[in-house]
Amino acid sequence: MPSTADILASAFGLPRSRSRGSGSSRNSSPARHRRHSGDMPRSSAPPSLNLNTKDVAPASTKATYTDGSIASSPTANTPAPSSPATPSSPSIPVQHLTRRHKTTSDASHRRSGSAFGSSRTALGPPPKATNDSGVELPFGSRRASPRTSMDMPRPSMEKSVLSLDSGRSSMSADWPTHPYELNTIAELDRLPQGTEVNFRARIATQRQLSKALDFLLFRDQTHSVQGVLSREHVDMVKWVQKLAPESLVQVNGILKTPPEPIRSATHSGVESLRNRMNSRILDLRHPSNQALFRIRSVVARTFRDTLEKEGFVEINTPKLQPAATESGAAVFKVNYFGRNAFLAQSPQLAKQMAISADFGRVFEVGPVFRAENSNTHRHLTEYTGLDIEMAIEHDYHEVMNVIDDFLKAVFKNVYAMPEVKEVQKRWPSGEFKYLDETLVLDFREGIRMLREDGRDVEEEDLSTPDEMRLGQLVLEKYNTDYYILDKFPASARPFYTHKDSEDPNWTRSFDIFLRGQEICSGGQRINDPHELRQNMLDAGMSEEGMEDYMTAFDLGAPPHAGAGLGLERIVAWMLELGDVRYASLFHRDPKSLPERSPGLAHPEADTTKPQAAGAPPPIEKLIANYGDASNTSWLDERFEIWRHPTGAAVGFVKQEKFAMVTGDPLCDRSQYKEVCSAFVKYVLTELRLTPVWMLVSYEVQKILAQQLGWRTLSCTEEQRVDTNKHHNSTGGPKARRVEREGVKIHEVKADDEFISRANPAIEEWKASRKGKQIHLTEVRPWVDMEHRRYFAAEKDGKVQALVVLAKLSAKHGWQVKWALDFPGSVNGAIEVLIEFTLSSVTGQVTFGVGVSEKLTPGEHLHGIRARFLATTYNSIVESLGLRRKAGFRSKFGALGEEVYICYPKHGVGLRDLNQIIKFFQD
């Protein structure tokens, strides 16, 4: 098993203790060292670019930084700047950057910026422009090239490569591309090798082989291309290497074939749903998301096309309604000029009124609002509804047939799209199966199938697990992922649903399912005003606010039926995304729209407000305003506190040549970038120490990596419990045993009398510990008592166990700062005390940092080093049982949230690694 020094050396990008050869990767073929960031797969044999910095076009390349500023790259006659206009970190290294197979149909035109004039083809000699009479037009006049993608031979992906070389090919020399003419990456696979091209794209990843050689991956929507940049004048390469990931650049280069096809590729771990949604703009740039929303667009367009062919009229109904009643779903209440109004939970009432107005057949594509506090994979508080309503001639199956035609058209159109393969790279899915003649299953038959499967279900609406299991049974029996469940019970349907004429306990209604999950509800509506009023009365509903709706039926309405579908659900279940949030551009769920400044415990310690000179807010108040668990360690005597002019704080410990930092800066999140940069500058220039920043959030590690080029990794996690969801087991066997033993579990006031009884137990506990202790903070329970709560287990006046809660920010709630099980305590007392403590607070509670199940490489840490480190870490954690503490905390429902270790690329030497271990030891 590797030594601890070997593991840490690998984590910090250092050679292991035994001698190893160096430079082997640089001497090998570039094709063998390709890397990818994120989860972006690559084609088997991509094209690449050699960037021609020698023959730079007269127009300067522009790079847009993340803050929106623009810097121009040097031209051939202009010295390159030593750094970009705004600070940016070196990009993630990538040796070869490769264009994947295209996933959308190629555009037959090229995009051109408004400042660059006309556009013409770069495939061969520019044809003379003439008008319809054959008269030659002046140079620069717009006329389509006679050679298009339709008649152009298309090189295979295995042979087509884009390279921007230091020399031009004979083709580009004979037929030079105009420097202001722009191609798209999607067009490059149609161009011959040696063609000079210009395009705009974002830098997806970057690998810096040397000061004079750089590999880049350029990305434009669903396409990417690999580039190789080299130059005798190295300032140009150095300038490019300082560009941040996601910078928008304009590129000039020569298409070339890669020396050999890609045989393998690696990628870092997929970002969690939470992180991806918190960085949605960056996430949406991913080719799979670009493809996904093109598919979503096709679904909506197919809906419109299908219904318009069937004679439907598109309508737009109001989203502000006077009444909160419809189907019993929760609604959002709004202030409408001092009067109550409600956001429409569907266009149901309005589209029925349109039928009464003799529109005959109507549909709508629009937002739907549901105020249901459902944090599941299938619920949104705002989604896009696809609604239809139509007068019927015979029965409600007419509307069912229309929807069936629409969905089959969707399946046909979507699965003919090349974008599906791009989506499947990120969200793998099985074959989607459906029948030529759609299966329509009676609700009672579905119940029978579930009961035969051993499930105890009643003849009521199905639960989500029942729906999913029924979908599996239908697939096994009928070989289809798509089916309709017909004739639902009346108890599961809204008041306006028409009851079955043969049995009033059942209704003329249906649901439609994809892969076992519901995407549509529909059925026939009541058109008799007397029956409608009786149903409302039976449901305990008032007509107040619904007068217009009832008038529509008093004036006479034909028999009609309709349905509502969720666009996000259709896309999510068809493609097996796993969560409807992925199918929503900017999702809204119960956790969306958080307060920007959530209830500061001490408003006077707000770092976004001006602070009195020389009087920064006390650190204790900043912890209560902004802190997480790691910040509470800053109250230990060994920590020094650095203060920013805004009042923000960073705690650190000087240890030989290092400044050891733990936790995020104590300030508003909007100030992280400013405070981190200022603190690092202070440590480097004034203290002349090397900073190592540990146990920070995802957001802070991104700043340190992108702004400063630091390496990051995660092998620790903040172990949190949501007490609002935690099941309290204080009445279990252990609790009863503790009660029989006469142990009192209660919250205590930490006065002098209690402290005098607790201190001897604490000292006895300290003395009972054996061996070296790994910890972040000292046991000092009586510090900052203003922000502490104390809970104790006592028997006969002796303290048996003690739990101390520390107040954190509103976002993070509380920390179980210490949970001390004193020697000689009653068995189980500490567990019961912790359960009691958790039941005494609401919201988030963290137990602090624990060991993760696996090591996750972060920024600038990849390849063999990362794989070796992760494998070794996993074996050591398993063999030494380092997760035992996390296992104990899991009894209380604790879930891990990654925190990160960050350090400068070349700031830690092999001999220095023990200093990091020493920091956490007694």
pLDDT recorded at residue 390: 96
Q: Are 169 and 194 in contact (CB under 8 A)?
A: yes
Find the catalytic residue in 33, 42, 190, 378.
Answer: 378
Q: Is the pLDDT of residue 551 over 70?
A: yes
Q: Is 393 a catalytic residue?
A: no
pLDDT recorded at residue 183: 83
* Cα–Cα distance measured from residue 299 to residue 403, given in angstroms and rounded to the nearest whole number: 13
pLDDT recorded at residue 331: 85
Q: Are 580 and 377 in contact (CB under 8 A)?
A: yes
**pLDDT bucket at 625, cuts 50 / 70 / 90:** very high
Q: Are 409 and 302 in contact (CB under 8 A)?
A: yes
pLDDT digits (tens, 9 = 90+) for 99-135: 333 333 333 333 333 332 333 323 333 344 444 444 4
Find the catalytic residue in 521, 633, 809, 825.
Answer: 521
**pLDDT bucket at 884, cuts 50 / 70 / 90:** low
pLDDT recorded at residue 272: 66
Q: Is 794 a catalytic residue?
A: no
pLDDT recorded at residue 192: 83
Q: Is the pLDDT of residue 339 over 70?
A: yes
String of DSSP letters for 60-106:
PPEEE-TTS-EEEPP-TTSPPPSS-SS--PPPPP-S---PPPP-SPP
Q: Name 577's Cβ contacts closer than 8 Å, sequence gap at least 6.
A: 292, 427, 571, 583
pLDDT recorded at residue 188: 83
Encoding tokens for residue 788?
């502490």
Q: Is the pLDDT of residue 800 over 50?
A: yes
- Give percent of the chain with pLDDT exceeding 90: 42
Find the catalytic residue in 111, 267, 377, 379.
Answer: 379
Q: Is the pLDDT of residue 28 over 50?
A: no
Q: Is 379 a catalytic residue?
A: yes
- Of 190-199, 360-369, 790-799, 901-910, least confident by mean pLDDT is 901-910
String of DSSP letters for 828-854:
THHHHHHHHHHHTS-SEEEEEEEEEEE
In Å, how far are 181, 215, 651 from 55, measured between CA atoms?
16, 18, 50
Query: Identity (one letter) of the amino acid at 316?
Result: N
In Å, how far are 47, 216, 630, 902, 911 from 663, measured between CA atoms?
43, 33, 5, 11, 25
pLDDT digits (tens, 9 = 90+) for 590-612: 888 876 656 789 999 999 998 87
Query: From start to end of 808-920, where are the E strands?
Result: 814-821, 844-857, 895-903
In Å, how far are 643, 869, 903 from 219, measured between CA atoms?
41, 30, 29
Residue 264 CB-density burial (10 A; 0-12 exposed, 13-18 middle, 19+ buried): exposed
- Give percent of the chain with pLDDT exceeding 70: 72
Strand partners, 714: 856
Q: Give the angle subtended at the CA of 92 by the CAs of 89 and 96, to the nearest 5°.
A: 135
Give the mean pLDDT of 632-656: 94
Q: Is the pLDDT of residue 699 over 60?
A: yes
* Cα–Cα distance measured from residue 563 to residue 572, given in angstroms and rounded to the nearest whole number: 19
- Of 204-213, 592-601, 684-693, 851-860, least confident by mean pLDDT is 592-601
Q: Is 378 a catalytic residue?
A: yes
pLDDT digits (tens, 9 = 90+) for 355-411: 999 999 999 999 999 888 888 888 898 999 999 999 999 999 999 999 999 999 999
* Cα–Cα distance measured from residue 334 to residue 345, given in angstroms and rounded to the nearest whole number: 13
- Of 176-190, 342-356, 486-500, least confident by mean pLDDT is 176-190
Q: Is 569 a catalytic residue?
A: yes
Phi, psi (rounded to 5 degrees) for 425 = -65, -35
Q: Is 372 a catalytic residue?
A: yes
* Cα–Cα distance measured from residue 440 to residue 449, given in angstroms and rounded to the nearest whole number: 14
**pLDDT bucket at 414, cuts 50 / 70 / 90:** very high
- Of 82-86, 589-593, 647-651, 815-819, least confident by mean pLDDT is 82-86
- Of 162-176, 329-343, 368-382, 711-725, least confident by mean pLDDT is 162-176
Classify residue 169 by its DSSP letter: -
Residue among 893, 875, 585 nearest 724 (CA)? 893
pLDDT recorded at residue 35: 34
Q: Is 172 a catalytic residue?
A: no
Encoding tokens for residue 441?
């299953």
Q: Is the pLDDT of residue 79 over 60?
A: no
Q: Is the pLDDT of residue 538 over 90?
A: no
**pLDDT bucket at 234, cuts 50 / 70 / 90:** low
Classify residue 739 by its DSSP letter: H
Find the catalytic residue in 190, 370, 515, 788.
Answer: 370
- Secondary structure (H, E, C), 1-56: CCCHHHHHHHHCCCCCCCCCCCCHHHHCCHHHHCCCCCCCCCCCCCCEEEEECCCC
**pLDDT bucket at 76, cuts 50 / 70 / 90:** very low
- Of 30-44, 353-367, 537-551, least confident by mean pLDDT is 30-44
Highest mean pLDDT among 309-318, 322-331, 450-459, 882-891: 309-318
Find the catalytic residue in 158, 246, 372, 543.
Answer: 372
* Cα–Cα distance measured from residue 774 to residue 758, given in angstroms and rounded to the nearest whole number: 23
Give the sign of the dihedral formed by CA 106, CA 421, CA 481, CA 563. negative
Highest mean pLDDT among 181-195, 676-690, 829-843, 862-876: 676-690
In Å, how far are 53, 536, 537, 734 from 543, measured between CA atoms?
74, 8, 9, 55
Find the catalytic residue in 196, 326, 389, 518.
Answer: 518
Higher pLDDT, 129 or 692: 692
Domains by residue range for the chain, with CATH: 1-21+617-716+852-879+898-922 (no CATH), 41-121+149-267 (2.40.50.140), 288-547+556-583 (3.30.930.10), 727-841 (3.40.630.30)
Query: Identity (one letter) of the amino acid at 5?
Result: A
